[in-house]
Structure 1
Amino acid sequence: MSTAPPNIPFPGLLGWKAMINGYFPSNPSYTEEQYPKLDGKVVIVTGGNTGVGYQTAKSLAGSTNAKVYIFARSEEKALAAIRRMELEVAQEYNKSSINVHFIKLDLGDLTTIKASADEFLSKENRLDIVIHNAGVMGTSVGSKTVQGVELQLGTNCFGPHLLQKYFDPLVIETSKTNKPYESRIVWVASSAHFQSPERGIHYADPNFVDTPHLPRVLYCQSKAVNIMQAIAWPKNHPGADRVLSVSLCPGFLNTDIQRHASGIWKWFIPWVLHDPRYGAYTELYAALNPELKNQGEYYQSFGRLGDIRPDIKLEENVDKAWAYCEEQVKAYYKTVIK
Structure 2
Amino acid sequence: MTTNNLPIIPSRTFADWKQMLHGFWPSKATFTEKDYPEFKDKVIIVTGGNTGVGYETVKSLAGSTKAKIYIFSRNKEKTLKAIEQIELEVAKEYKIKPIPIGFIQTDLGDLTSIKPAVNEFLSKESRLDLIILNAGVMMPPPGSKTKQGYELQLGTNVLGHFLLQRLLDPIFIKTSFNNPPGVSRIVWVASTAHQLAPLGGIFWEDKNFDKVPYNSNTKMQLYGQSKAADILLAKAWPRFNPDAKNVISTSLCPGYLQTELTRHSSAFELFLGKLLTWPRRNGAYTELYAAFSPNIKNGDYSISFGEPSHVRKDLNSIEAGDKLWDWCVKETNPYV
TM-score by length of 2: 0.97
1:320 pairs with 323, 327, 335, which one? Answer: 323
Q: Secondary structure at the match of 1:120?
A: helix
**Correspondence list, 1:154-193, <5 A:** 154-193=155-194
Partner of 1:282: 286
Shift of the alpha carbon at 1:325? Answer: 1.5
Distance 1:3 1:120 in 2: 47
1:227 pairs with 219, 228, 231, which one? Answer: 231
Shift of the alpha carbon at 1:289? Answer: 1.4
Partner of 1:247: 251
Q: 1:205-252: CA deviations, max 9, x gaps?
A: 001111235212111000000000000000001211111000000000
Partner of 2:40: 39
Distance 1:14 1:325 in 2: 30
Question: Closer, same or farther in 2 for the Cα pair 1:3/1:152, shift >3 Å?
Answer: farther
Q: 1:21-76: CA deviations, max 9, x gaps?
A: 11010111210011111000100000000000000000000001000001110000
Q: Does 1:23 align with 2:24?
A: yes
Q: Secondary structure at the match of 2:284?
A: helix
Partner of 1:217: 221
Shift of the alpha carbon at 1:315? Answer: 1.2
Shift of the alpha carbon at 1:3? Answer: 6.4
Are the aligned partners of 2:67 and 2:99 in contact in 1 as well (CA < 8 Å)? no
**Correspondence list, 1:132-151, <5 A:** 132-151=133-152
Are the aligned partners of 1:14 and 1:309 in contact in 2 as well (CA < 8 Å)? no
Range that drifts further, 283-292 or 117-126 = 283-292
Distance 1:119 1:269 in 2: 38
Q: Does 1:297 align with 2:300?
A: yes
Distance 1:118 1:14 in 2: 44
Shift of the alpha carbon at 1:270? Answer: 1.6
Range that drifts further, 93-102 or 44-53 = 93-102
Distance 1:69 1:121 in 2: 12
Q: Does 1:310 align with 2:310?
A: no
Q: What letter is aligned with 1:175?
A: S
Q: What letter is aligned with 2:324?
A: A
Q: Secondary structure at the match of 1:80?
A: helix
Distance 1:325 1:198 in 2: 18
Q: 1:115-173: CA deviations, max 9, x gaps?
A: 01000011000000000000000100000000000000000000000000111011111
Distance 1:29 1:273 in 2: 19
Shift of the alpha carbon at 1:87? Answer: 0.8
Shift of the alpha carbon at 1:101? Answer: 0.8
Q: Secondary structure at the match of 1:245?
A: strand
Range that drifts further, 94-103 or 166-175 = 94-103
1:266 pairs with 270, 288, 303, which one? Answer: 270
Distance 2:36 2:293 in 1: 7
Partner of 2:81: 80
Count of aligned pairs: 331
Q: Secondary structure at the match of 1:71?
A: strand
Q: What letter is aligned with 1:250?
A: P
Q: What letter is aligned with 1:113?
A: I
Q: 1:267-299: CA deviations, max 9, x gaps?
A: 11221100010000000001111232x211111
Range that drifts further, 273-282 or 259-268 = 259-268
Q: What letter is aligned with 1:43?
A: I
Q: What letter is aligned with 1:184?
A: R
Moved beyond 2 Å, runs of 4+:
96-99
Are the aligned partners of 2:49 and 2:72 in contact in 1 as well (CA < 8 Å)? yes
Distance 1:241 1:291 in 2: 17
Q: Give the gaps of 5 or more residues in structure 2.
A: none
Are the aligned partners of 2:257 and 2:277 in contact in 1 as well (CA < 8 Å)? yes
Are the aligned partners of 2:250 and 2:290 in contact in 1 as well (CA < 8 Å)? yes
Q: Secondary structure at the match of 1:296?
A: coil
Q: What letter is aligned with 2:94?
A: Y
Are the aligned partners of 1:3 and 1:210 in contact in 2 as well (CA < 8 Å)? no
